[in-house]
Chain A
Amino acid sequence: MTAFAELAAATNFSFLHGASHPCDMVAAALELGHCGIGIADRNTVAGVVQAHVALRDAVAEAGQPIDFKLIVGARLVFADGTPDIIAYPATRRGWGRLTRLLTTGNLRVEKGGCHLELGDLVEHRHDLLLIVMPGPCDGLRPLVDAARGNIWLAASMLRGGRDRRQLRDRIEQAAAMRLPLIAVNDALYAGPGQRRLHDILTCIREKRTVQTAGRLLASNGERHLKSPAEMARLFADAPDAIAQTQRLLARIGFTLDDLRYEYPHEPVPAGYTPQHWLETLTLTKAAERWPGGIPPRLSTLLADEFAIIERQNYAAYFLTVHDIVAFAQGEGILCQGRGSAANSAVCFVLGITAVDPLKNNLLFSRFISEERKEPPDIDVDFEHERREEVMQYIYRRYGRERAGIAATVIHYRPRSAVREVGKALGLSEDVTTRLTSTVWGSFADTIERQRFAETGFDPDSPEIARLGEFVGQILKFPRHLSQHVGGFVLTQDRLDETVPIHNAAMADRTFIEWDKDDIDALGLMKVDVLALGMLSCIRKAFALIATHIGTHYTLDNVPDDAPDVYDMLCKGDSIGVFQIESRAQINMLPRLRPREFYDLVIQVAIVRPGPIQGDMVHPYLRRRQGHEAHDFPAPAPPHDPDELRSVLGKTLGIPLFQEQAMKLAIVAADFTPSEANLLRRAMATFRNVGAMDQFETKMVGGMVARGYDEAFARRCYQQIEGFGSYGFPESHALAFARLVWVSSYLKCRYPAIFAAALLNAQPMGFYAPAQIVGDVCNHGVDVRPIDINASDWDNSLERAADGGFALRLGLRQIDGFREVWARLIAASRPFDSIEALARRAALPQHALRLLADADACRSIGLDRREALWEVRRTPGDVLPLFAAAQARELGIEPAADLPQMRPAEHVAADYQTHRLSLKAHPMQFLRGMFEREGVASSAATAAAKDGRRIKTAGIVLVRQRPGKGNAIFITLEDETGITNVVIWARLFERYRRAIMASRLMLVEGELQRSPEGVIHLMATRIHDRSAELGRLSDTHDAMPDTTRGDEDLHPDYPRTHGHPRSVRVMPRSRDFH
């Protein structure tokens, strides 16, 4: 049989050109009996790691070496008219030339794209094997002369009508240029079936519909991988061109496994080895911290950890992380490490984390698996407002050619897929918008028939059927590369000789074109530099406490023993607290009743898809409350009946953390560590569905064979499934629990300060400002309205009558207001009239209107209506130079005597201008109407008996559909409190529109009260009463925000389009200022 390898295979990382995943290309080539494949995407190597992993997995699956060679490179597309040239590195050095060549091209353009010219290739040609694709070869002379021996001319037989004649011409041309000819099929997809998908991709690329694209589409579907026999038949006139594929393949000595990683040396002073320096640094810091001598237990721990770190050669990694953290601490930026390696005594001593391993009995070895050979993992969270400083420091210190952010591959999601495929099929935008608008976010990975039916379209019509078909195929296709949120790859050698670098959309950012999985697969090292809003909030709270009270807190000196704080948490009073403020968490608090730090760790980890899907929550609670014995599932003899005690001891015999589930697979189901890791990876990516079934069989079968109860085994497996997508390892939970504690402490002891800090750190957390302010009011704090004579930009503190603190809302709460204006106002206070405000603060008219409409002029005796009336005649933008000349230019007017504004109008206006009102709750004004309808208030609902049928109505705060989506949780708010509503999925299908669209919802249902006093309304009917909000005012639009938690409803909104909270579910009325 003929030996042939397709060496011009593109994947879907040739965005909108290729129509198959890299793994599918490799699989198809194996299937067809090729002896190898060359993956070359357009000016990128973004897809090659996936191909590499696909082959590696195939070899692992076969259990023996396969006679198949994957070569990786890139198809260079030039901007100067040179025909495309495919470049394959023959050696590691050649790979470096290729990635530098691509980097050069990438960095020439601002964003997206790669500008290459032939001269660049001539310069970087060494150790590259080149295939010149069909096209005019006139200008190639310099390259041919320079790289002779490494160049092939490609010929293809694509059924264009004159293939044979062109092949003859190409043979002559090759002879004239003294170059060998090589046969390619220029494959864009794996099999002939993908032609139609390729047409759709072409339409998306060309922004045409399939009906009008005409000759932009390929005339036929020949560009798939073809069998060696078929290729030999097509190239019967040039058999040597087929043979040349073997010759090229044989000359490649490079695989991606040759990429060797080395840590940067910067953090290590001359004369030290990294290990030596790490030990010296740690012990010095420890000596500073414990001047009376390092506690013996700590010394032992440190010695153990040093040993592991030395064996694994991780010292440089710890030093690199320490270097970044030390910079942040020097700049006063709060930070905290998490991740598998972060909870170590070394990290604690170095200040990377604030979790004390001595107090919490942590074992470093629990988090580092030596046999797994996985790189250690430390993610560091920084204050979200100041993370950029840290990132720029990293670039400064290591240089752009050695530091880069990992890429995130942006995939097609249901929404974008429906929109773009719909457009390509010629469906109008309103149709696709409707189809996507009612898709419940990520739970619609498949577009269900019912969705179509609900939107009034016939799912069987050919257009819709076609849409469904293509959307199914294009989902999970990469769409473009973007930068990861903060995963840095740092190297000692030039990073651009390992992977190409791109300019990011954000100024001053560069990123590499491999994502997290690729980096893991190749064993590169990454440090996650993440942004965390709560750290900003905590720093601001610390600063306010230092200013107003004089106590100086840091993350590790907040007292960790305060019963009143645990009391507060036990009541479920946790709005604003890190991580445990969601509705599900608040409901869990009274059940779990945390009394010590490790309880908080469990609290953080338990309300997660893993434990919930694995049905581990209730058994844990029963054991904790003493209703159930703490027994451990045991295997049959001869196995050690206590084998799970070491795995599950701390969590009362119930697996709650990701590591426990993995460990379970190893201990109880005889997985090898690498198998367990494969399992986790398969879960996380959901790529290989077939393999998942095998894992399930192996895990459940393995556990049953060992004598475990099958139901328990199945639950463990389901839990791993849940962890796959939303894993929560113990080490993360530990780090987060520390921030839970610090924020709970602040909330309990300094409620006004904590609220001010929360508001000043927005956007962050789960709740909108209205709920934060409402909560702090309920805690007896005096909250004062925005006022030109009292408010700064930030929310601030004022002395209250009782000697405590009152919270003064800041000007930042006003939508559209700017910080500079706030500074001008603060600098020229006090004011006694609008004119004085306009003149002395030199505010533009727009700012004046915002202030007036926010009702911030009460201290000069004007309500918003009077203030607006006055503002309208006040010229803004007065230049200071002319201010004196214009003094008191406005004449005295007769009293305007405008009609009084109704309180309801004021509240609506408050909501529109700053999204909260201190005057009243919008529901208060509708109460009379609702009472006549027999609608109960939240307070009345909460007081009702278990099992009573009741009607209630309120503003929708949160909509969530956790886990498998069997139930939807909605929180309603009215002037008396909140009501938690549960809607079963079956009801949801009936009331979908009302549930999705309501801002004011009326729910009929049955009240359920749990033994712990948690109250739910089980809905039977839903009504959308949003229109009633229009009754409040005809001049302002009172559309209260849903909370950030409501983003679950729209997880598909691209995060780059502003904060999800600012995406209003209902359109704003036309509004002018």
Chain B
Amino acid sequence: MLPSENVIRAAGYAPPETPFALVEKRRGAVCIAAADARALALGIGPGLTLADARARLPELAAIDHDPVADHALLEWLADGCDRYSPMVATDGAQGIILDITGCVHPFGDEAGLVGDAQRRFNRQGITSALALADTPDAALALAANGDGRSAVAALPVTALRVDPETHLALRRAGLKTIGDLAGRPRGPLAARFGTAMPVLLSRLLGEEDVRITPRRTPPEVQVEARFAEPVTHAEIALATLDRLMRDAATILSDRGRGGRRFEAALFRSDGHIARLGVNSGQPTRDAAIIARLFRERIDALSDPLNPGFGYDLIRLTVPVTEPLIAQQLELEGGGVTDAELAALIDRLSTRLGRGRVRRFAVGDSHIPEQTAFELPVAEPGSPSIWPQRETDEPPLRPLHLFDPPQRIDVTAEVPDGPPRRFRWRRTLHEVTHAEGPERIAAEWWKRRNGKGLTRDYYRIEDMRGRRFWVFRHGLYGVEKPMPDWYLHGLFA
């Protein structure tokens, strides 16, 4: 399986028209982590920097490398291999090992099984190299290094799973293939390359057999209730779920952990499975909170829970947990508010959708409208540190900003005097007090021409005591002959 194939699959089996590479940042440089078959054929492989690769192949497309997605794909393929054998393991980022001892009869013989697997992989658009051997080590070596059919003895010494230093030392000794090593007494080898090396060699040569360790992905916590008689009432099902939550909470509490995700599976006797999942913003094991979240979830379902012929199995799993230390309530109850706020956010997010509940974050810029922006509350991110207002100082900037700022007509002294009077929404305001300018220059790097107008901000108060935040857009005579004025905000 090539990492690039995940991209091809994700793009609906339509790869980019040009050769492409997956890139990642390594020590400051953008490097190629993997490339598709066409790029590989042109000599562009892992380790090259993107700039070098582009110099050779200017049309090369670059896509961010996503090892997590690749791993997910591998796991998905391994799931599919369950059909051949219960003994399935993954190896590294690209390998799957099956122990097919006693499993070949549905396919006639071993070759039949391999052929079937090959066909299935091909159908999924997965490049695969399959190899059969007596030991997992040999099979992996053959699949990775050979064409799957040649003998182990013809493989290069790099097929031996030892560190690259040993590979080099072996080649320097003139021993280039596994065959060169096979006939040698193991004692001298062990004396030079460590005792592990002859063992690995024996495994590769099939002289020593080892079993694979099948992969298992049990949820961290799983509790279930089986019913001899299917339960046909939704209320009873929900009550059962509540009980399971308490059981799960006990287990979590014993382990000092809290769940971040809870999944319920209600197995109907006719084979239908209703799956529900809820997330919490902070690790929790409070059964009441979880139950409430589930209720919210169920209430939000477009088609309500239908027991139909009845549930015969209800299972609650907690796939994601985090450490949660038992919290002591503060005497005056102060610490609880955080938890309550978190619970509220969880409820709102569950009901309204994650993207709907938002918080403000600090934007690092001198430009006023860019000093704050919104983020989904659940989005991880460093907590914002808001600039502290200096004590004894009136606020420099208003809480309310107009977006966009509103054009006003202003009478002011040139070049950079404060406004004397201005007209806003057809009302004339006589300015009695003014302070400024606070001069904020444009962010030249965001503009193609590298220029942009400077703003001169003034805090002003009119005769009726209303306070405004206005700015002159452009330096008089320098950047603009007659700069425009805008009202940007109102002070409370």
Contacts and interface: CB of A to CB of B under 8 A. Distances in A.
B193 A872 contact: yes
Contacts of A462: 448, 450
A466 B445 CA distance: 9
Interface string A853-893: 10000000000010011001100000000000000000001
Contacts of A222: 439
Contacts of B25: 428
Contact of A159 (B28, B171, B437, B446): B437
A219 B172 contact: no
Nearest to A1070: B164
A214 B51 contact: no
Contacts of B169: 868, 872, 1072
Contacts of A210: 445
Given A455-B55, A1070-B168, A898 B29 contact: no
Nearest to A217: B366
B387 to A, nearest CB: 9
Interface string B7-50: 00000000000000000010011110000000000000000011
B172 A1035 contact: yes
Interface string A1035-1046: 110000000000
A428 B30 contact: yes
Interface string A837-856: 00000000000000001000
Interface stretch (B133-141, B184-192, B213-221): B184-192
Given A159-B437, A161-B396, A219-B439, A425 B172 contact: no
Given A219-B441, A462-B448, A428 B29 contact: yes
Given A873-B191, A898-B173, A434 B165 contact: no
B382 to A, nearest CB: 13
Interface string B47-63: 00111101100100000
Contacts of B58: 456
A214 B450 CA distance: 17
Contacts of B164: 1070, 1072
B29 A430 contact: yes
Nearest to B172: A1035
The winner among B28, B441, B448 for most chain A CB atoms within 10 A is B441
B364 interface: yes
B405 interface: no
Interface string B429-445: 00000011111110011
Interface in B438-461: 438-441, 444-446, 448, 450, 454, 456-457, 459
Contacts of A932: none
B366 A1035 contact: no
Interface in B157-211: 164-165, 168-169, 171-175, 180, 185, 187-188, 191-193
A160 interface: yes
A1043 B456 CA distance: 61
Contacts of A456: 51, 54-55, 58
A162 interface: yes
A361 interface: no
Contacts of A547: none
B445 A215 contact: no
B365 interface: yes
A125 to B, nearest CB: 32
A160 B437 CA distance: 7
B173 A431 contact: no
A1034 interface: yes
B229 to A, nearest CB: 63
Contact of B435 (A165, A431, A434, A899): A165
A433 B51 contact: yes
A1072 B365 contact: no
B437 A425 contact: no
Given A220-B441, A430-B49, A1072-B165, A872 B192 contact: yes
B22 to A, nearest CB: 15
A73 B366 CA distance: 33
Interface in A1029-1073: 1034-1036, 1070-1072
A194 B400 CA distance: 34
A551 interface: no
A532 to B, nearest CB: 39
A211 B174 contact: no
Contacts of A899: 174-175, 180
A846 to B, nearest CB: 12
Contact of A215 (B51, B52, B364, B438): B364
Contacts of B450: 196, 462, 466
Contacts of B454: 220-221
Interface string A535-555: 000000000000000000000
Interface string A213-227: 111010111100000
A1034 B175 CA distance: 12
B439 A434 contact: no
A896 interface: yes
A212 interface: yes
A430 B30 contact: yes
A215 B191 CA distance: 63
B174 A161 contact: no
Contacts of A434: 49, 51-52, 55
A929 interface: no
A476 interface: no
B174 A901 contact: yes
A865 B366 contact: no
A136 to B, nearest CB: 12
B52 to A, nearest CB: 7
Contacts of A211: 445-446
B171 A1034 contact: yes
A553 to B, nearest CB: 46
A894 interface: yes
Contacts of B437: 159, 161
Nearest to B171: A1035
Contacts of B364: 212-215
A894 B439 contact: no
A962 B168 CA distance: 42
A195 interface: yes
A160 B438 contact: yes
A862 B478 CA distance: 83
B439 A1072 contact: no
Contacts of A894: 185, 188
Contacts of B49: 430, 433-434
B281 to A, nearest CB: 28
Interface of B: 25, 28-31, 49-52, 54-55, 58, 164-165, 168-169, 171-175, 180, 185, 187-188, 191-193, 363-366, 396, 435-441, 444-446, 448, 450, 454, 456-457, 459
13 contacts: A195-B441, A196-B444, A429-B28, A430-B49, A430-B51, A456-B51, A456-B55, A865-B173, A869-B173, A869-B192, A1070-B164, A1072-B164, A1072-B169
Interface of A: 159-162, 164-165, 195-196, 199, 210-215, 217, 219-222, 425, 428-431, 433-434, 455-456, 462, 466, 853, 865, 868-869, 872-873, 893-894, 896, 898-901, 1034-1036, 1070-1072
- Nearest first, the 10 closest Cβ-Cβ pairs linking A and B are A214-B364, A161-B438, A159-B439, A899-B174, A872-B192, A430-B29, A429-B28, A873-B191, A1072-B165, A220-B439
